[in-house]
Amino acid sequence: MSNSAPIHLEMRGIVKRFPGVVALGGVSLHVRGGEVLALMGENGAGKSTLMKILGGAYPADEGQLFIDGEEVVFRKVSDAKRRGIALIHQELMLAPNLDIAGNIFLGGEARGAMGRLSRSEMIARSRVLLNRVGLALPPTTQVSSLTAGQMQMVEIARALALDARAVIMDEPTSSLTAGESEHLFKIIRTLRGQGIAIIYISHRMEEVLKLSDRITVLRDGRNVGELPAAEATQDKIVSLMVGRAFTHRFPDRAPLPADTPARLVVEDLLVPGAPSGVSFTARRGEIVGFAGLVGAGRTELMQCIFGVDRPLAGRMILDGQGYSPKKPRDAIAAGVYLAPEDRKRHGLVLPMTIAQNTSLPDIANYTPRGWLNRRREVRVAQAERERMAIKAPTVQVKTVNLSGGNQQKVVLGKWLAMTPKVLILDEPTRGIDVGAKAEIYRHMADMAAAGITILMVSSEMEEVIGMSDRVIVMHERRMIGILRREELTQDRIGALMTGRVEQIEHDRPITTDTAA
Ligand SMILES: Nc1ncnc2c1ncn2[C@@H]1O[C@H](COP(=O)(O)OP(=O)(O)OP(=O)(O)O)[C@@H](O)[C@H]1O
Ligand SMILES: [Mg+2]
């Protein structure tokens, strides 16, 4: 079968209902080969569901699908693949215990002259495909040893192996470094040049504007607008997404008074694997941002502060008392909480409901007399659902059925509902839409105003600059700079992040007394 002519894909009036939710209420879209269509919308708007239908993962309840003008019905993923449509999911779906070649040809749809491909054919073809996506690794590399970005490239190679005429990418850059994202954009442009249709989902406005030819916006499972990228602006897209004019800004926060007492003093803390110790003092009500490239050692540092790992040297003081957690439970008992970066894996029990997930980390508080106070659980969870604008019919919904961004909100909301002394947030807004981001920022500002110290690891420069009182920059597991709020610019942080300059006025403890 020749698959070389540019495809024309059209979805018409697609309806999809789940118990208690109309995920799609009659959505239409079309895309041609050689075009990048961006699909945008708030968390829970229906983007992933629509693409799963296009990829054959779910049947639609109503509506039609046309390829090159001919109506088609997909009953399973392999039906879509056979018609040249490859879906790359929001969650990477590689088999970690297979190697790259094994993953590329997993499922056995690709066939050689003799039917099923032999292992040596797979390796040879993989090499060609890896070359096309610019991944310089042997096809026999185990997938478990790859970075998120490399896994993403393997997923694309897998799509190319199928001779895909349309490739759907659902938030492909959410765990990529800036460099990896740029690389992905290059590949996308190449694919477009080859006449492949690309549907691209992302919450990152700049990249959508840069990459796409046309933008389709969904809200609550309906089409609310479509515009050529050339006419699009951030404001236009956002107001379509949220249904009102929206200025996505950071809350105004007064500068901390100079005599604000110290809360957490970190002195020469030597993280395993780091070349030197880290020292800083975070004050009450201060938001300290941690900038750096992925792999700069920020998460590892936070894990030492939270008691997941033990530092090799140095010490910490919390509100004037020695603080040396041996496990996370010690940290929590001392009032130090961490909302992890990989929230799916560490933050959420997917088969449990929103309400159950909310009470989980604080379960003792819900079982005062030995049994679970369900009413309280539901009440707290409902407040959280409202505050975080979590899209779900009730708090009794299993979190596995929430959209990706709404899952993030459940986990984050849980941490924001507590009142620790120090809250560590690792990439707090990854995968979260603009409207909800603003809510989260406001909430962080309120927590800081109430005296909670926030350590925020973030790869989003805007957020680091918009929210932090001070920023610590890390590079290759070293603390390379510390900037005050008035010194925060993209250029300055960027120069430090890449290790081009260094700026440490040693941030020795200013005070360790606990007087409020
Ligand atoms: N398997 C399912 N069972 C029940 N409800 C579901 C299921 N899958 C999705 N939903 C619901 O359908 C709606 C649309 O979800 P979808 O995942 O398509 O959103 P999305 O636009 O991709 O959001 P995000 O930006 O957060 O990824 C949400 O309300 C979600 O909770
Ligand atoms: Mg999604």
Question: What pLDDT score was predicted for residue 16?
Answer: 97
CATH class of 8-242: alpha beta
How many A from CA of 86 to the centre of ligand 2? 16
Residue 403 Cβ inside 6 Å of ligand 1? The answer reads: yes
Question: Which ligand minimizes its atom distance to the CA of 202?
Answer: 1
Q: Is the pTM of this model over 0.85?
A: no
Report which protein residue has its CA nearest ligand 1's atom 17: 403
How many A from CA of 60 to the centre of ligand 1? 14
Judging by beta carbons within 10 Å of its beta carbon (0-12, 13-18, 19+), is residue 395 exposed, middle or buried?
A: buried
| Torsion sign over Cα 325, 362, 413, 485 | negative
Question: What pLDDT score was predicted for residue 384?
Answer: 87
How many A from CA of 304 to the centre of ligand 1? 35
Question: What pLDDT score was predicted for residue 343?
Answer: 62
Q: Could you tell which of 402, 407, 430 is best to mutate to test the pocket of ligand 1, judged by most ligand atoms within 8 Å of the CB? A: 402
Question: What pLDDT score was predicted for residue 482?
Answer: 93
Residue 408 Cβ inside 6 Å of ligand 1? The answer reads: no
Question: What pLDDT score was predicted for residue 19?
Answer: 86
pLDDT in tens, 83-114: 999 998 877 778 888 899 999 988 766 666 56
Listed by start position, the domains of the chain span 8-242, 261-335+420-516, 347-419
Q: How far apart are CA 294 and CA 458, in angstroms?
A: 10
Which stretch of DSSP H or E encloses residue 237?
helix 234-242
Residue 159 Cβ inside 6 Å of ligand 1? The answer reads: no
Report which protein residue has its CA nearest ligand 1's atom 24: 43
Residue 84 Cβ inside 6 Å of ligand 1? The answer reads: no
Q: Name residue, tokens 């690389």.
A: 183
Which residue positions in the chain have pLDDT lower than 70? 1-4, 108-115, 245-248, 342-346, 361, 364, 504-516
Question: What pLDDT score was predicted for residue 160?
Answer: 86
Residue 202 Cβ inside 6 Å of ligand 1? The answer reads: no
Tokens of 316: 């910490």
DSSP letters, 35-72, are -EEEEE-STTSSHHHHHHHHTTSS--SEEEEEETTEEE
Ligand 1 atom closest to the Cα of residue 405 is 26
Question: What pLDDT score was predicted for residue 248?
Answer: 59
Question: What pLDDT score was predicted for residue 4?
Answer: 58
Ligand 1 atom closest to the Cα of residue 90 is 27
| 261-335+420-516 homologous superfamily | P-loop containing nucleotide triphosphate hydrolases (3.40.50.300)
Question: What pLDDT score was predicted for residue 513?
Answer: 37
List residues, by chain if needed, whose CB lies under 5 Å from ion ligand 2.
48, 90, 403-404
DSSP count for the chain of H helices, then E strands: 17, 22
> For residue 219, which phi and psi values (nearest 5 degrees)?
-140, 130
Residue 45 Cβ inside 6 Å of ligand 1? The answer reads: yes
Residue 285 Cβ inside 6 Å of ligand 1? The answer reads: no
Q: Are 493 and 503 contacting, i.e. CB atoms less than 8 angstroms apart?
A: no
Q: Are 26 and 13 contacting, i.e. CB atoms less than 8 angstroms apart?
A: yes
Judging by beta carbons within 10 Å of its beta carbon (0-12, 13-18, 19+), is residue 368 exposed, middle or buried?
A: exposed
Question: What pLDDT score was predicted for residue 419?
Answer: 81
pLDDT in tens, 71-80: 999 999 989 9
Length reported for the chain: 516
How many A from CA of 99 to the centre of ligand 1? 31
Question: What pLDDT score was predicted for residue 508?
Answer: 45
The reply to whether 8-242 and 261-335+420-516 are identical in fold is yes
Residue 21 Cβ inside 6 Å of ligand 1? The answer reads: yes
